[in-house]
Amino acid sequence: MAGGDDFFVGAELASVLPAQPNPWYRTPHLRRLNFHLLFVIMSAAGLGFDGSMMNGLQSLSTWNDYFGNPSSALLGLDNAVLNIGPILFGGVVAWCADRFGRRITLQGGCLIVVLAAAIQTSAQNIGMFIAARFIIGIGIEFCIVPAPVLTSELAYPTHRAKLTSLLYTSYFAGSILSSWTTFGTYHMHNSTWSWRIPSLLQAAFPLIQFVALFWVPESPRWLVSKGRVEEARALLVRWHANGDETSPLVEYEINEIRSHLRFEAGTGKLGWSQMLKTPADKKRLILVVYISFISQWCGNGIISYYLTLILKSVGITSSSMQTLLNAILQIVSWIAAITGGLLVDRLGRRTLWLGSISGMFISFTVWTACSAAYDETGTSGLATAVLFLIFLFQVCYSVAITPLSISYPVEILPLHSRQKVMGISYIGNSCANLFNSFASPVAIEAIGWRYYIIYIVLLAQFGVVVYFFFPETRGCGLEQIADLFESDKFLLGKAKLSPARGESALDDEKEISDVHVEHIGVTDSETPEIVKK
């Protein structure tokens, strides 16, 4: 098997995996596939670049002077406008990805960001700058919404969870480029290029991605959904089976996809209106929308866009120090996010979720207490403590929330609603960020550390919800995870997988679902039989 990854998959999938004596990076076809997917994973870099860039620009006197020292409300609008486009166009992106394909939709998003970055770089006033950011937000949405779906549907089965979890870590690749660029251009005191250069570089990742995507394959699941089964089979033969047309893995994957599509078609679960038709659909949609909001309402939003204001509140006012700390924070966060992404199969999703939330809750509580004490005493040691706790919080956030906020929703959704619900997810994400963008700068200036108490409460309920309602999905294939939600009696938080081979189990009942779809022996004209256990 490929590098021992079969230890974390179910027995059914493990039985059809081809023998791979070498790890993936020494297996040519898997190495090529993962290299291609690298350019899909790059999709979150634009969002990361933007957040860090705006943190940096707020520290530049040239940017503030050129745009008339924007007020807190105007800063809020400048950041919030990035989320208005995604709210308006969320359904359009999902429709395009289902209608025209994941890859083409993603390329369109890259092109939009490149063009908008050119407008932003040449901005002559704050209105032009804000308009460019509105367009950038639309382009980023076209990049982020189809990217995790394409990654999960195209990746080799034993690599799917890791690669999808690593997708959002590219956020920090963008933020690192942005933060260090801004730190470097800070010294250009008398030139508007101190902020125009970072604005121009916002096009770097999307431009590279746009060109590279011409060589990235389309999703085999999307091809099958369009009746292009032979194209999907040929794709899987090339990229998953190294050209072996008799590979049991290819037949297994094709049969899984086709049988689930026929089952969904037979139950009428195809359109937007069907996303709430069954209890399983409702469970999935509620979880995905909840994740989209809470992943932005657990304290990270104020760090992403308003670190400068937080640092000022504890006496760190030097622009040079603010930009340097922002740059270092992005590197630390990226390391934590990659570590978490690589551990999703080994530790499991629930362990990462709960460990991360616990760490964020503790660090944010102590951070709030130290901020309150600093407000009273002005002791420099408390400012240092707050700085340490900001880094600790960001590590705890990045190690789980960054990878899982994208990969977990993608894997719990069935094919018929995967792209649609991910579009809704990004709308929810943008709504949450819109609130953060408007409320945070005003609240921090008005009530200071007291604003942090809201996030402490939100983190506490986040932990409770994850414990009781987030199922463990380690070891399941995409089609198998869909079955995990079918039982009306299913208590989500109780689900776990056997550490031996990833086989589904419950703590007490030892069963996951009342029904399952029998895939074996299904022909093109048959509807899969629903078998009662």
Q: Please list, in sequence order, all residues whose beta carbon lies within 8 angstroms of the beta carbon of residue 458, skipping any fewer than 6 positions away.
A: 294, 297, 298, 299
What's the mean pLDDT in 458-487? 79
Q: At 145, give phi and psi (nearest 5°).
A: -65, -50
Q: Which helix (H) or strand (E) holds 47?
A: helix 45-57
What's the mean pLDDT in 419-446? 81
pLDDT in tens, 205-260: 999 999 999 999 999 989 998 989 999 999 999 999 999 999 999 999 998 888 77
Confidence of residue 458 (pLDDT cuts 50, 70, 90): very high
Most confident of 63-77, 290-304, 344-358, 500-514: 344-358
Q: Are 533 and 514 in contact (CB under 8 A)?
A: yes
Residue bearing the bigger pLDDT, 43 or 316: 43
Judged against a pLDDT cut of 70, whether residue 412 lies above it is answered with yes
CA distances from 87 to 73, 92, 167, 236, 289 (A): 20, 10, 22, 35, 13
Q: Angle at Cα 103 formed by Cα 99 and Cα 106, nearest 5°?
A: 95
Most confident of 58-62, 216-220, 515-519: 216-220
Q: Please list, in sequence order, all residues whose beta carbon lies within 8 angstroms of the beta carbon of residue 470, skipping any fewer than 6 positions away.
A: 287, 349, 350, 353, 408, 492, 493
Q: Angle at Cα 402 formed by Cα 398 and Cα 405, nearest 5°?
A: 145
Range in 211-220, 265-274, 348-357 with the lowest mean pLDDT:
265-274
Burial of 510 (0-12, 13-18, 19+ CB in 10 A): exposed
Gap between the Cα atoms of 319 and 185, Å rounded: 12
Range in 43-47, 133-137, 151-155 with the lowest mean pLDDT:
43-47
Gap between the Cα atoms of 447 and 432, Å rounded: 20
As assigned by CATH, the class of the 5-469 domain is mainly alpha
pLDDT given at position 101:
93
Query: For residue 497, what are the β-bridge partners?
Result: 504
Judged against a pLDDT cut of 50, whether residue 70 lies above it is answered with yes
Q: Please list, in sequence order, all residues whose beta carbon lies within 8 angstroms of the beta carbon of residue 260, skipping any fewer than 6 positions away.
A: 414, 415, 479, 482, 517
pLDDT in tens, 171-194: 888 888 888 888 888 778 788 999
Judged against a pLDDT cut of 70, whether residue 49 lies above it is answered with yes
Range in 81-90, 103-112, 121-130, 460-469 with the lowest mean pLDDT:
81-90
Judged against a pLDDT cut of 80, whether residue 102 lies above it is answered with yes
Confidence of residue 531 (pLDDT cuts 50, 70, 90): very low
259 in helix, strand or coil?
helix
DSSP state, residue 67: T
The mean pLDDT of the chain is 81
Q: Are 368 and 386 in contact (CB under 8 A)?
A: no
- Chain CA centroid to CA 266, Å: 32
pLDDT given at position 120:
93
E-strand stretches of 414-463: none
Ordered by start, the domain boundaries in the chain are: 5-469
Confidence of residue 483 (pLDDT cuts 50, 70, 90): low
What's the mean pLDDT in 39-63? 83
